[in-house]
Structure 1
Amino acid sequence: MRLTAVTNGQLDETRLRKVLKEITPFVDAILVREKQKPPQEYLALVKALIADGIPKEKLWIHSRTDIACMTGVHHLHLPEKGVTVREVKESYPFLKVGQAVHSLSAAKQAEEEGADYVMFGHIFPTDSKKGRKARGVEELKEVTSTLCIPVIAIGGITIERMKDLHAAHAKGAAVMSGIINAAAPAEAVRQYQKEAKA
């Protein structure tokens, strides 16, 4: 299983850059999900991460097609609502595009529109979705068994729950707080990777 670290908009930029540089060797991808930043600040952050030595191939841009193009980071992650995968693919065929989905029907639509992967969640209860029912492993299994493209699980994923994602045939796990807010992020990533390869 691939391991994607997802930023959560909670760290100041100095700390965030330090954490991301530290974990880069041990993760397969980093989704820069800093939705609270104005476009110019988001662009400046992505440029700073590249200057820090983080390979463009490991970075995924959230929502902003313009920033993906301006920085040469040709990986774009779309929210479920808004511009569609088809629209992006038609205008920017060189981009790899994934989409967040929260139902089987949305996942199937993303695949039909040409998505390179879907990120399905939230699988387990999580503080970022308080009061909202988790989809659970059975729904994840339904999505992975229906789609041909990779399904990445997100939401409440702890190291101990990685084995449940294996059982559900997820191709990857996307982790926010368990990595970004960890006291020792690189060590946390190593533990996740150990379970991902189990």
Structure 2
Amino acid sequence: MAKTPSVPDRPPCRLYLITPPAIPDLDAFAEILDQALSAGDVAALQIRLKPAEEAVIRQVVAVLAPVARRHDVAVILNDRPDLARATGCDGVHIGQQDGSLAEARRIMGPDAMIGVTCHDDRDLAWDAAEAGADYVAFGAFYPTTTKATVHTPPLELLTVWQETVETPCVAIGGITVETAEIVARAGADFIAVSAGIWSYDGGAAEAVKLFNQKLNF
């Protein structure tokens, strides 16, 4: 078995939660979220609803953002810098088809957190870092049912990035309790998880607890 790459002497990897793409019962999910955020360290919550009307997104942010902030968790909205600013989110996450980083920064302002999807492309990530992204996201590292898997970067990409660039990197895509430590040791600053939390057999709170145990190696 090949040795897992490891980056020494860096801050602990942290958990970055992503909502399910649809939330049928918002009040029930808010309770689950509150329990999950009480169970261990979480850096951010990305609200990612696809597809969803603007009114639905606004309602979800209005209900979930206060829950996240009670636990000192940053609230990131997917795709829509205009709506992120209008709803008071802490930041926005944009994909390669969601407009430019410069435009997102213009809309959100200098203090907002802006992350950029970079798939498996270090050059895209470098350009984003140079342009002032607060973090870049690589993935999918494992098969996932949350979205179509097109890009599958090697774990070594995280190691090289960690060793050469100061901008933090987020690893995403099919990461589970069983694989979290492998990805963290490879060099991820944050591990983004959706189904691995909300669909965990023992419940979301237990999943957050176990992920944190794996990330504090």
TM-score scaled by length of structure 2: 0.82
State how far apart, in whole Å, the 2-side matches of 1:190 and 1:176 are. Answer: 15
Deviates more, 1:148-157 or 1:12-21: 12-21
1:130–1:84 CA distance, 2 compared to 1 (3 A) = closer
Q: Is the 8 A contact 1:110 1:118 kept in 2?
A: yes
Gaps of 5+ in 2: 1-12
2:18 aligned with 1:12, yes or no? Answer: no
1:130 positional shift = 5.5
Q: Find out whether 1:191 has 2:210 as its counterpart.
A: yes
1:173 is paired with a residue of what secondary structure? Answer: strand
**What is the letter of the counterpart of residue 102 of structure 2?**
R
Match for 1:16: what amino acid? Answer: F
**1:106-137 per-position Cα deviation (integer Å, ceiling 9, x unaligned):** 11111011000011111122233556452221
Report the CA distance between 1:154 and its aligned residue: 0.5
| CA-based RMSD | 2.0
When residues 72 and 57 of structure 1 are mapped into structure 2, their CA distance, relative to the original with a 3 A threshold, is: farther
Corresponding letter in the other structure for 2:85: C
Counterpart residue number, 1:101: 118
Aligned residue among 118, 121, 136 for 1:118: 136
Q: Pick closer, same or farther for the CA change 1:64–1:130 going to 2, 3 Å.
A: closer
Q: For the Cα contact (< 8 Å) 1:125–1:133, is it kept in 2? A: no
Amino acid at match of 1:138: E
Deviations along 1:69-96, one digit per CA (max 9) or x if unpaired, are: 2222221111122211122223422311
| Structure number with higher helix proportion | 1
Gaps of 5+ in 1: none
* Corresponding residue for residue 145 of structure 2: 127
Identity of aligned residues (%): 27
Pick the aligned partner of 1:137 from 155, 163, 178: 155
Compute the TM-score of the two structures, normalised by the length of structure 1. Answer: 0.89
* CA spacing shift, 1:99–1:138, aligned 2, 3 Å: same
- Could you tell me how far apart the structure 2 residues matched to 1:13 and 1:101 are? 32
8 Å contact kept, 1:6–1:180: no
Partner of 1:61: 77
Say whether 1:23 aligns with 2:36: yes
Q: Deviations over 1:6-57 (max 9, x none)?
A: 1131441334323222212332211111131111110111011235x33175
Match of 1:86 in 2: 102
